[in-house]
Amino acid sequence: MNAVILEDEPLVAKDLQKLIGQLSPEITILTTLDSLQAARTWFGGHSEPDVLFCDIQLSDGVSFDLFNHVSIACPVIFTTAYNEYALRAFKLNSIDYLLKPVDREELGAALDKLKRWKLNNAVPDMTTHIAALLKDLASTDTAQRFKERFLVHSKGAMLLVDVSQVAYFLKDELIYLITLDGKRFVTDYESMEEIEDVMNPVQFFRANRQTIVHIQAVESFKTEYTGKLFITLKAPMNTATVDVSREKAGAFKKWLG
């Protein structure tokens, strides 16, 4: 089985290729592409692979644009640092996606699904699925889906916190909302994924499994030799440490603009 990886972060691409080799050594990686332009050129001159591993947010645009220029019928496994509404549409259309950093077990499950499709000769034609998704993306008013205020618990009562006052969300058994002035409130959310579903990805970033940070709370960041990032928040939250894995480091820098 042949595969192509579309990923603009070299370390992420290298790690993904290594994991694929460990989990499915029968898969041959034909090439790793690092941009939309490179992908258009490659697919324009080669037969499509058996599977495409595709990042969504690339250095020169969003990979969805590739499907507007090239007809791709093979299965696509998306990898992304963003858990946005589009991914739910992909999942409904039987296209797998993996959140970065890519989890070994989740990748294994995606590869197993691919193998079952191949074994049963039941691999769906992705052209129809991609066309439906692009139509959904074009018709959806994304502004209506992002929350503008959050309900939190405060001294036995419920309090509304405007999104402009949010510094970050923290999972520490319960899920807390921390405001820009350092106040800490309990929320009713049961998972960080619930928050990701209703937050604006332009404003919020999933730094790690425990933390979602608002861009206005970021003071600065530094990179250690491993590629991992450490975010310094603005006062009075600057005593908190927020780390970003090396796999998400590139996406974080892009998010900051």
User: Domains (ranges, CATH) in the chain?
Assistant: 2-140 (3.40.50.2300), 147-256 (2.40.50.1020)
SS3 194: helix
Strands 166-172 and 174-179: antiparallel
Tokens, residue 170: 């923290």
Please, is 107 exposed, middle or buried when counting C-beta atoms within 10 Å of its C-beta (0-12, 13-18, 19+)? buried
Q: In this structure, are residues 78 and 54 in contact, taking their beta carbons and an 8 Å threshold?
A: yes
List the structure tokens of 248: 């998400």
pTM for the structure as a whole? 0.57
Q: What is the DSSP letter of 100?
A: S
Walk along the chain (257 residues) and give the pLDDT tens digit of each residue. Answer: 999 999 988 888 999 999 999 999 999 999 999 998 999 999 999 999 999 998 887 878 778 778 878 888 788 888 877 655 455 545 544 467 787 788 899 899 989 988 888 777 666 556 666 666 566 555 554 444 688 889 999 888 899 999 999 999 999 989 999 999 999 999 999 899 889 888 888 899 999 989 999 999 999 999 988 888 999 999 888 878 899 988 888 888 888 87
Give the number of other CB atoms < 10 A from CB of residue 131: 12
Secondary element (H or E) of residue 84: none
With residues binned 3-state (H G I as helix, E B as strand, rest as coil), the percentages for the chain, rounded to 5, are 40, 30, 30
Residue pair 225/207 in contact by the 8 Å Cβ criterion = no
Q: How many CA atoms lie within 13 A of 183 on its CB side?
A: 13
Distance of CA 59 to the CA centre of its chain: 14
